[in-house]
Amino acid sequence: MISLAHRGFEIEALTEDYIRNIYDIRVGIESMLATRAVERATDADIADLRTIHTDLCALIRSGNSMVATHENVHFHNRIYRLAGNRQAEMILEGRTRVVRTVGDSLGGYIPSVYDTVIAEHEDIVRAFERHDAEGAGRAVFNHVTAARDRLLKRMADGHVFTEGAAPLPRAKSRR
| Residue 147 is assigned to a structural domain of this protein | yes
| 3-state SS, residue 50 | helix
Domain hosting residue 26, numbered range: 12-157
Q: What is the pTM of this model?
A: 0.84
How many domains is the chain built from?
Answer: 1
| Residue 166 is assigned to a structural domain of this protein | no
Give dist(CA 137, CA 65) in Å, integer: 26
CA distance from start to end of the chain: 18
Task: Report the interhelical angle of 43-62 vs 65-83 (nearest 10°).
Answer: 160
What is the sign, positive or negative, of the torsion defined by CA atoms of 126, 131, 134, 137?
A: positive
Q: Look at residue 94 in the predicted model and tell me its pLDDT.
A: 81
* CATH number, domain containing residue 141: 1.20.120.530
| Residue 171 is assigned to a structural domain of this protein | no
Give dist(CA 77, CA 80) in Å, integer: 5
Running DSSP on this structure, what letter comes out for residue 6? T
- How does pLDDT run along the chain (175 residues), one tens digit per residue? 455 565 665 667 788 999 999 999 999 999 999 999 999 999 999 999 999 999 999 999 998 888 998 899 999 999 999 999 999 999 998 878 888 888 888 888 888 999 999 999 999 999 999 999 999 999 999 999 999 999 999 988 888 776 554 443 333 443 3
| 3-state SS, residue 12 | coil
Q: Look at residue 8 in the predicted model and tell me its pLDDT.
A: 60
Are 100 and 153 spatial neighbours (Cβ–Cβ below 8 Å)?
Answer: no
| Residue 60 is assigned to a structural domain of this protein | yes
